[in-house]
Amino acid sequence: MSIEVYNLTVRYDNKIALENVNVKVEHPSLVVIMGPNGAGKTTFLKSLLGLIPYEGEIKIFGKDPKKARSLIGYLPQRDSINTNMPLKVKEVVLLPLVSKSFTIKKEHVEKAKKYLEFVGMLDRWNDRFDSLSGGQQQRVLFARALVTEPKVLILDEPFSATDVKTKMELVELLHRLKGEKTIFIVLHDINPLVECTDMVMLIQKTLLSFGTVSEVLTPENLEKLYGTKVPMIRRDNVCYIVGGDRHA
């Protein structure tokens, strides 16, 4: 039961976006992916989802990404959502369940309510999605990623443009899911999740480093990653980056 990536290379218009990535992640794990802007973090996630052509091999519980889609829940970056469409919260969460069927079944509604309750948004069931704050929208999209009850969660910058309260609520949800699912999460600031992170991937067009938090989060690795010195502090044998992410 694992997610395996061998010699993954992705090119956009013949330019290399990601080169020769090899990782093996045991299920369940929480994997944080870090790197500067344009480093290939989202490209890596999209490869796992089978959204883009790639060279190399990806196996998700033994299956190719396109055949493993029922095993994966995805939370995209929020700016990829089209808010021109005035969907209600319930419709957003039901979409993955009902998009392939003609009717909305009772079990679909029950699942949608269960996961909206999990993220603390059930009371907004009938509200319009675009009337919610950014953090509330993120929680609804999180419920949508969970509603198909996937084994693997892929979260692309879930903390971006969220306030501290929302961030801590999402961290709490991730703590509750840890040990149950394999979670790949792109973050600019790992600090809130340091204590529950199993593995860290540092990506800068290729895999610079992969391992546990204490193995990977070293001043040398972070300087190589961001091209500048990154101040860190150590507490209880855990390293924290001072001031969060350093963009190159």
Footprint on this chain of other proteins (rule: CB under 8 A): 49-51, 66, 69-70, 72, 74, 76, 80-82, 84-88, 91-92, 95-96, 98-101, 128, 144, 148, 154
Q: Closer CB to other proteins, residue 99 or residue 237?
A: 99
Instruction: Round to whole Å and give the CA distance between 170 and 177.
Output: 11
CB of 170 to other proteins, least distance (A): 18
Structure-block tokens of residue 139 = 């929680």
Compute the least distance from the CB of residue 16 to other proteins, in Å. 17
Query: CA torsion 194→195→198→204, rounded to 10°?
Result: 0
Beta carbon nearer to other proteins, 23 or 92: 92
Residues in CB range of 176: below 8 A, 6 or more apart:
none
Closest CB to other proteins among residues 12, 248 = 12
Give the integer Cα–Cα distance in Å for 73 and 97.
Answer: 12
CB-count exposure of residue 196 (10 Å: 0-12, 13-18, 19+): middle
Q: Which is nearer to other proteins, 50 or 120 (CB)?
A: 50
User: What is the full DSSP assignment across 165-224?
Assistant: HHHHHHHHHHHHHBTTBEEEEE-S--GGGGGG--EEEEESSBEEEEE-HHHH--HHHHHH
Nearer to other proteins, 87 or 196 (CB): 87
Q: How far is the CB of 81 from other proteins (least distance, A)?
A: 5
Question: Smallest gap, in angstroms, from Cβ of residue 182 to other proteins?
Answer: 16
Residue whose tokens read 């883009």: 52
Least Cβ distance, residue 223 to other proteins (angstroms): 33
* Residue 148 beta carbon to other proteins: minimum distance, rounded to whole angstroms: 8
Residue 2 pairs in a beta bridge with 26
Nearer to other proteins, 95 or 168 (CB): 95
Rounded Cα gap, residues 37 and 42, in angstroms: 10
Instruction: Give the C-alpha separation, 228 to 246, whole Å.
Output: 8
